Structure 1
Amino acid sequence: MVLTVYADRAGRLWRIAETCARCAAATPGCRVLDTAPPPARTAPAGTNQIVVQPTAQQEEPASGTAADGVAAVFSDHSPSPTAAPSSPAAGPAPVPQARAAVAGAAARPAKRWGKIAQRTVPHDLQPDVLRTELIDLGDAFRAYQQRTEPDLALLAELHERKARAFALWADVNGDRSLRHEAQRAEQAAQTTREMHQNRGGGPADGGPAVERLLTRTQAAHARAVLDYTAAHAPSPQAEVRLAVLMLALRAARDGTGNVTGQDLTGWLQDAAEPVLEQLVDAGWLRLPGTLAEALASRPEDATAFTVPTLLPEQPRPFAFGKTTRSKISGWAQKALSDRKLRKKKLGAPTRLLALYTAAHTRPDGSLGPAEDDGLDLNQAAAFCALSPGQVAEHAGLLVTADWLSEADTTADRLRGRLAERVWPLAGVL
């Protein structure tokens, strides 16, 4: 028998109790004050348990003294088996170790619980390894949200673990919403990996990482818009294709968009009015007022325009959402308004070539999908409304504007590399 002290669950009431050593070891937060002498007779069944109120004086002599100087009093007045009473310097008596396994459901430790993706993990979810993984994942996601700097590699790994765990959870209870959540996590993992690859692109010699404006998926959609422009522009002139590209990007979602006179003159310079007139006459563009009003419009009173072929009732040429549309439009705007391109006063064909080269690069800035292969010269020339022989001249202008660091047009291929300063605008193949 041992004399113990422990608190109730609320921590407001302390109890002193005589109990056996094993029960003391199994009681959470229990502290042993002293050990009783072995009984000389058969001990009665059960244990005596009392609630003790502190008093100024103890009626019974102490058989031992606890570490804090409080006397330990047993109901059995036999002398303590210890040779001498304990002293404050001796420290508290050691607490008996709990048994490795305790029979009975009440003695089992409470199972951990947690939440993930606004779902509470059931305490009785089987197998236990799945329940533990879901709880750990919820804790890991919450810990990631507290980070001061993003770690996309770690985030992709967490999404992959979540996809596997939710797929198994769906198999266990047949919940379709869990299966849908697993698919979303898998897509999130893929997108995060792409973002990590894009932002991790850098020089082959291990230089600094590059944070690119477009992900690989968004770059693929940008190339689709370039192909649409080449195929659906009502006129093969470079200025017309440039206007079609920029207006189509603004109206890609529902066939309507807003434009200002500053936008138009920035894209087309002195050719803005004749180009708009061609687009309106061809039926590709609709304006609510006159060309002069469109060219005079300001940001606070932008001109709303319509592209009939992009209206919702027409076949949808693009399969991207609102965010991707905004990203691609911003990418094209930044490329066309590049400071050095404007300083050189390069024309529409050269700026189209700049966009085309930026949209078809590898992570190291080289042009084309394969090493030393470059781009098809005829396709690049057709997009820019140039002849193949003229591409070399305009590529040279891009080299002087520090858009390309090198360029070569031999063997019907356009080979080269983007200048490092414009790597953030590269649409990685």
Structure 2
Amino acid sequence: MFSDAPGAGGAPSAAPAAGRPGAVGGGAASVPRARPAPRPRPGGVPAGHLGAGRWGKIAQRIVPDDLQPDVLRLELTELGDAFRAYQRRPEPDLAVLADLHDRKARAFALWADVTEDASLREEAVRAEAAARTTREMNANRLGIEVDGGGPVVQRLLTRGQGAHARGVLEYVRVHAPLPGAEARLAVLMLSLRAARAGTGNVTGQDLSGWLQGDAERVLQDLVDVGWLCLPEGVDAADALDSRPEEPTQVTVPSLLPAGPRPLPFGKVTRARLSGWAQKVVGDRKLRKKKAGAATRLLAVYTAAHSRPDGRLGERVEGAEGAEGDGVGLDAVASFCGLRPEDVTEHAELLVAAGWLTEADAAGGRLRGRLGERILPLSGLV
């Protein structure tokens, strides 16, 4: 029984002969050769083995198994695993990603110190920048300062949509066919309705809300100059009578998709921008103050060109209080259909309505800050 067991019916197998690796005596299984250590990658660090057939790898680099100190080797290995796990997450978490970039920056800086490898130092610097950018993106999304202070604000626009909003405003500033503020306001709102296909629906309530008593005149002026087309048999008065269940379809020939689209964004962004602009021009306190078209255009412009904290304009490094430098007065005036010297008067109306907490037009730039209730409408410059 069990006659094929080792040693059964005879002497045990002989041990391998000395000096002959892999040689065996009769009946013994052959011993596989040891695999050579992997070669270093060209221009990279030596490859390293972490046991159990697993390799430590991060940022396209192999972590050497003899890297010292051990705590650095383990941190680099765990970081590589953590980044790969993050990529498999069903939803992004920018706070988690920023922390990973911070850890990577510290680990690569230490790795560079240990190995005197300049490329590792460069990778550490890039990781620091990535952490900072990711943290700013997360703060903008949540509506808080980068240092985490301040209340969380529910934003209507994302940062990308805010950039599209400023693109629409610039398009209106340059291409509005008539100089008056009322016409420019109508061009803005109708452009947002027709941005995708060159056509859009409007009701009499829309037009009256935007333009009050000037609606019929302004609409007819836009038709007369060829910027706007109404359906056959429909005039401006008919459009003002249209109801939500039977809106009037208007056409903006310059936005028809016959050539390159001047307002290149999708239907979700179009709807979001249109709703955003409607909230601005229909603001309750602006209506209560009987703000005219120029003042409401200024409200749109200041909202679109504000930072997450409400300050107008981009952050300027070294600016006192990090207030930034506002927005150019000439561009503001051109968009609103005003003379530059008249912008201050309308900015003061916005302050009175609580839209801005302060306003200053010195030095050819409009500076100010959105009121707290307006922060959800910020364009997140």
Q: Please give the per-residue CA displacement for 1:157-209, whole angstroms capped at 9, x wherever unaligned.
A: 99xxxxxxxxxxxxxxxxxxxxxxxxxxxxxxxx9978633223336881112
* Change over 3 Å in CA distance of 1:192–1:261 after alignment to 2: farther
Q: Secondary structure at the match of 2:221?
A: helix
Which of 1 and 2 has higher RCO (CA within 8 Å, sep 6+)? Answer: 2
TM-score for the superposition, normalised by structure 1? 0.58
Give the whole-Å Cα distance in 2 for the aligned partners of 1:192 and 1:321.
25
* Change over 3 Å in CA distance of 1:218–1:343 after alignment to 2: same
**Contact between 1:195 and 1:215, CA under 8 Å: does it hold in 2?**
no
Partner of 1:328: 273
Q: Please give the per-residue CA displacement for 1:328-377, whole angstroms capped at 9, x wherever unaligned.
A: 11111111111111111110000000001111112221111233421111
**Contact between 1:361 and 1:428, CA under 8 Å: does it hold in 2?**
yes
**Contact between 1:194 and 1:215, CA under 8 Å: does it hold in 2?**
no
* Change over 3 Å in CA distance of 1:299–1:155 after alignment to 2: farther
**Contact between 2:348 and 2:359, CA under 8 Å: does it hold in 1?**
yes
Q: Secondary structure at the match of 1:356?
A: helix
Partner of 1:254: 197
Pairing 1:212–2:164 present: no
Give the whole-Å Cα distance in 2 for the aligned partners of 1:265 and 1:127.
69
Specify the code of the residue in structure 2 equivalent to 1:278. D
Pairing 1:398–2:350 present: yes
Give the whole-Å Cα distance in 2 for the aligned partners of 1:368 and 1:282.
34
Residue pairs, 1:22-421, within 5 angstroms: 44-45=3-4, 151-154=93-96, 196-202=138-144, 206-288=149-231, 289-369=234-314, 370=316, 371-421=323-373
**Larger helix fraction of residues:** 2
* Change over 3 Å in CA distance of 1:156–1:407 after alignment to 2: same
Q: Please give the per-residue CA displacement for 1:297-344, whole angstroms capped at 9, x wherever unaligned.
A: 111111111101111113321221222111111111111111111111
Give the whole-Å Cα distance in 2 for the aligned partners of 1:194 and 1:141.
20
Q: Which runs of 5+ in 1 are unaligned?
A: 1-41, 48-102, 105-125, 159-190
Partner of 1:77: none
**Contact between 1:366 and 1:417, CA under 8 Å: does it hold in 2?**
yes
User: C-alpha displacement at 1:290, in angstroms?
Assistant: 2.0
Q: Please give the per-residue CA displacement for 1:233-252, whole angstroms capped at 9, x wherever unaligned.
A: 11100000000001011111
Q: Secondary structure at the match of 1:301?
A: coil
**Contact between 1:198 and 1:211, CA under 8 Å: does it hold in 2?**
no
**Contact between 1:198 and 1:210, CA under 8 Å: does it hold in 2?**
no
**Contact between 2:304 and 2:379, CA under 8 Å: does it hold in 1?**
yes
Give the whole-Å Cα distance in 2 for the aligned partners of 1:343 and 1:413.
28
**Contact between 1:353 and 1:384, CA under 8 Å: does it hold in 2?**
yes
User: C-alpha displacement at 1:151, in angstroms?
Assistant: 4.1
Give the whole-Å Cα distance in 2 for the aligned partners of 1:140 and 1:387.
53
User: C-alpha displacement at 1:224, in angstroms?
Assistant: 1.1
* Change over 3 Å in CA distance of 1:259–1:129 after alignment to 2: farther
Specify the code of the residue in structure 2 equivalent to 1:298. R
Q: Which runs of 5+ in 2 are unaligned?
A: 7-29, 32-52, 58-76, 101-132, 317-322
Number of aligned pairs?
279
**Contact between 1:261 and 1:294, CA under 8 Å: does it hold in 2?**
yes
User: C-alpha displacement at 1:152, in angstroms?
Assistant: 4.3
Give the whole-Å Cα distance in 2 for the aligned partners of 1:339 and 1:152.
35
**Contact between 2:139 and 2:148, CA under 8 Å: does it hold in 1?**
no
RMSD, matched Cα:
3.5
**Larger strand fraction of residues:** 1
Specify the code of the residue in structure 2 equivalent to 1:422. I
Q: Please give the per-residue CA displacement for 1:234-274, whole angstroms capped at 9, x wherever unaligned.
A: 11000000000010111111101111111100100111000
Q: Percent identity?
A: 60
Give the whole-Å Cα distance in 1 for the aligned partners of 2:286 and 2:307.
22
Q: Please give the per-residue CA displacement for 1:60-119, whole angstroms capped at 9, x wherever unaligned.
A: xxxxxxxxxxxxxxxxxxxxxxxxxxxxxxxxxxxxxxxxxxx99xxxxxxxxxxxxxxx
TM-score for the superposition, normalised by structure 2? 0.65
* Change over 3 Å in CA distance of 1:195–1:327 after alignment to 2: farther
Q: Please give the per-residue CA displacement for 1:136-159, whole angstroms capped at 9, x wherever unaligned.
A: 9898688756xxxx844347899x
Q: Secondary structure at the match of 2:245?
A: helix
Q: Secondary structure at the match of 2:363?
A: coil
Give the whole-Å Cα distance in 2 for the aligned partners of 1:138 and 1:298.
55
